[in-house]
A = this chain, B = another copy of it.
Amino acid sequence: MRAVFLLIVAAACQAAAPARAEDGYDLWLRYKPVEPKLRAAYAPLTRNIVIAESPTLDAARTELQRGIGGMLSAQLPVSETATDGSVLIGTPKSSRLIADLRLPLTGLGREGFVIESARLAGHDVTVIAANDDVGALYGTFALLRRMQTGQLLDHLAMREAPASGLRLLNHWDNLDRTVERGYAGFSLWDWHKLPQWRDPRYTDYARANASVGINGTVLTNVNANAQVLTPLYLKKVAALADTFRPWGIRVYLTARFSAPIEIGHLKTADPLAPEVRAWWRAKADEIYRVVPDFGGLLVKANSEGQPGPQEYGRSHADGANMLADAMAPHGGTVIWRAFVYNAKPGEDRAKQAYEEFHPLDGQFRPNVMLQVKNGPIDFQPREPFHPLFGQMPKTPVVLEVQITKEYLGFATHLAYLGTMWEEVLRADTCSPKCGTPVSRTIAGMAGVSNIGADRNWTGSQFDQANWYAFGRLAWNHDIAARDIAEEWARMTWSNNDSVVKPVVGMMMQSRQAVVNYMTPLGLHHLMATDHHYGPSPWVNNLKREDWNPTYFHRADAKGIGFDRTSTGSNAVSQYAPPVRDCFARLNCVSDDDLLWFHHVPWTYRMRSGRTLWDELVGRYDLGVQQVHDMRRTWDSLRSRIDDERFQQVDAFLGIQEEEAQWWRDASVAYFQSISKRPLPKGSKTPAHSLDYYEAISLPYVPGH
C-alpha cells in the first residue's frame, strides 16, 4: 500500500513540469528545503497554525504556509485549538488565547511584535503576538527568517519594534514606465493595464517589502508629473494600494507643485493663494476617497528645474505647510525634500540645503517631514553625513539614501550599500551633544528604489541585498551591516558557511572597492555628464559651474581637493563644533574625507607614509585589485551556486573588472596630466592615452 502510494507520488512528481532554474525572482524568500537536522528540529514546533482571519492575518498565514511548505516540505494546517507544536499568530483582540497569555506588548506600537515559546493549557506552542495584525505579520517574517538562516526555534523570547514609523521606498518611476536612475528594466507599474489587471508581481513586491518591514512606497518620480493626480490615474493608484494594504504598505505619490496650473487650470500655484489652497484641499479629499489610508505626498520643489513656492516669493515652509493643511484632515503627511542647490556662481553646493532649511526649523506644520540625503552633495560613493542631521530639532527629519546605484556602477557593479548606510547612521552629529549618531536624529528612512520589471527585480542578484539591507536598517538602525549581509547571503544563496563566508567577504569590501576605483580619499562627482556612467573627471564646460567634475576636485599643479575649511567655502562651519573642528584639521579628518574638505598638496605625507599622489594612485590600483579578488572568490563558488544565478554574477563581475580598470586608467591618466608626477613603483601606465578616454561617448546608457 505504502509502495503504491509512493509510486503515485513519484509519478505525480515526475509528471510535473521541468523545474525552472533559479533566476532570482524569489529574492530572499526562496524557502528551500533545510538540512535534515534542522527539519527534525523545526517540524515538531510547526505542526499547525492557530490564527484568526483578516486580510493581514491571511497574508501572514499564507506566507508561513509557503515557508513551511518549502523549507520542511510539509503542510501547515489551520487549527482552531492549540496543540503541541502550534504556532499562534495574532493580537489580543483577534485571539482569546493570545489575550490570556498577557504578553508584554506595551510600548511595541502597531508594528512591533513578540515571539515567545510558551506553554498553553499543557501544550508547547510558539506565539507571535502584536498589538495590530501588521505587527503579527512582521513577527511571522521574523520567525521565517530564523528558519531561513538556520537558527533554532526553541525557547524563543524575541521582542522587536521598529526604530521609526516611516520606512519608505521612493520609486523614481515615470508614467511612461521609464525609470529615472533605474537599472532594472521598465517600471513595475503597468499603468496602462491598471486598474483592471493586478499583476501577481505586485503582491510579490509587497511580500518582499513586508518581509523587511518597509511600510510605504512612493509610486512616482520626484521629478513629478501632475497627471498621476488626475481621476484616471488615481483609480490605478487605488488598485495598487488595495493590493499592498494587507501587507502593511501605504502608497504615497509625488506632488508636482504646479499641478493646480497643469491639471487644475488655475493661473497660479502660489501656496498662499486661496484658490490654490482650495484646489489642494479638494484634491486631498479626492485622493482619500479612493485611497482611505493614503500615506502622503513627497515633494521636490525649487530644485533642478522643478516648480516650487519660491517662484511666488514664498518659502519652502509656505509650500509645505499649504500642502500639509490639505492633508491634515485625513492624517496624511507631506514629505519635503531638502535636496536643493541654486545656481549662484561661487557658492559651495554642499552648503546650500543647510542654508535654505536650517532657518526654517520650527516653521513647519506637525505633519511635514523633511527628507535629507545622507550627504550634502548627491549619493556619492562616499560623503560625510549631511549637516542638517541633528540640527533641525523641531522638524522630523527623514534620512534619504539611494538604493539604486546611480553613482556606484549601476546594476552591473557589485556594491553592497549596507556598509555605507551603517556609516552614516553611526556618524556622530554631536548635536545636541556628542554621542548622538545620525540614527538618533531621524524620524524615518527613505530609499530610492532599485526595483524594476527585470526578472531578478533589481537588475542584478547582488543588488537585491541593497533592497534587503535598506529595509532591515530602516527597521533597526543599529544592526551591523555585516550581520545583514550574512542574513541575506544565507537566505539568498546558501546556509552553507563555505558559501556564506566568501559571499559576505565580497560584500563587505565591495563598496570601498568602488570608492577606490572611482573617487578615493574624499573625491566626488567625477562621473560622466548626465547619465553618470563611467569616468569624466576632465569635464569643465557644463552650463552650471557646480555640475562640473573640475568644480569638485579642483586639481591643479600643486594639489587636489575642495577646501571647505575656513580658508575655503567654510562648509565645515555647518557642523556642530566638535565635528567641524575635526573635519577642518588635517590631523583629525579621516583619509576617507580628506579631499572632500581640504585642498592638499600632491606631496602631502599621508598617514600611510606615502605622498598624497602615490596614495591616490595606490587607491585606484587597490580598487581594481579588489574587484579582481571578488571575481576570483566568486569563481571558487561555481560548484556551490545554481547555474543561472552564478553565470549572471560572473558575467557582471567581468563587466565590473573591465570598468574598474577603465575608471582607474582614465582617472590616473587625467590626474597625472595635472600633477605631472611619475606613477609610484609597480603601478602600471594606463592602457590608453587621456585623449582616448575623453573621447568615449555612450549615448544610450540606461536610467537616463
List residues of A whose CB falls within 8 A of some B CB: 2-3, 6-7, 9-21, 23, 26, 30-33, 66, 69-70, 73, 175-178, 183, 185-186, 191-193, 196-198, 200-201, 227, 232, 410-412, 453-455, 644, 648, 651-652, 654-655, 698-702
Contact = CB atoms under 8 A, between A and B. Distances in A.
A426 to B, nearest CB: 34
A182 to B, nearest CB: 10
A692 to B, nearest CB: 14
Copies in the complex: 2
A21 to B, nearest CB: 7
Contact of A453 (B12, B20, B178, B186): B186
B31 A17 contact: yes
A6 B376 CA distance: 64
Given A6-B7, A17-B32, 9 more contacts: A175-B699, A178-B178, A183-B192, A186-B453, A192-B700, A192-B702, A196-B651, A196-B654, A197-B648
B196 A655 contact: yes
Contacts of A454: 453
A443 to B, nearest CB: 34
Contact of A10 (B10, B232, B655): B10
A18 B700 contact: no
A700 B193 contact: no
28 contacts: A2-B3, A3-B3, A6-B7, A11-B73, A13-B16, A15-B73, A16-B19, A17-B26, A17-B31, A17-B70, A18-B69, A176-B700, A176-B702, A177-B185, A177-B702, A178-B178, A183-B192, A185-B185, A185-B186, A186-B186, A192-B412, A192-B700, A196-B651, A196-B652, A197-B655, A198-B651, A201-B455, A227-B699
B18 A20 contact: no
Contacts of A411: 193
Contacts of A3: 2-3, 6
B15 A13 contact: no
A391 to B, nearest CB: 40
Contacts of A178: 178
Contacts of A73: 11, 14-15
Nearest to A66: B18
A469 to B, nearest CB: 23
The 9 closest A-B pairs by CB, nearest first: A13-B13, A14-B73, A6-B6, A197-B651, A15-B33, A3-B3, A175-B700, A9-B10, A186-B186
A644 B200 contact: yes
Contacts of A19: 16-17, 19
Contacts of A702: 176-177, 192
Contacts of A30: 17
Given A192-B702, A644-B200, A655-B197, A185 B18 contact: no
A699 B10 CA distance: 54
Contacts of A699: 175, 227
Nearest to A11: B73
Contacts of A15: 33, 73
Nearest to A23: B200
Nearest to A176: B700
A410 B66 CA distance: 36
Contacts of A176: 700, 702
A140 B652 CA distance: 35
Q: Most B CB atoms within 10 A — which of A10, A26, A69, A655?
A: A10
A32 B14 CA distance: 11
Contacts of A227: 699-700
A593 B160 CA distance: 71
Nearest to A26: B17
A171 to B, nearest CB: 15
A31 B10 CA distance: 18
A6 B17 contact: no
Contacts of A197: 412, 648, 651-652, 655
Nearest to A9: B10
A426 B651 CA distance: 49
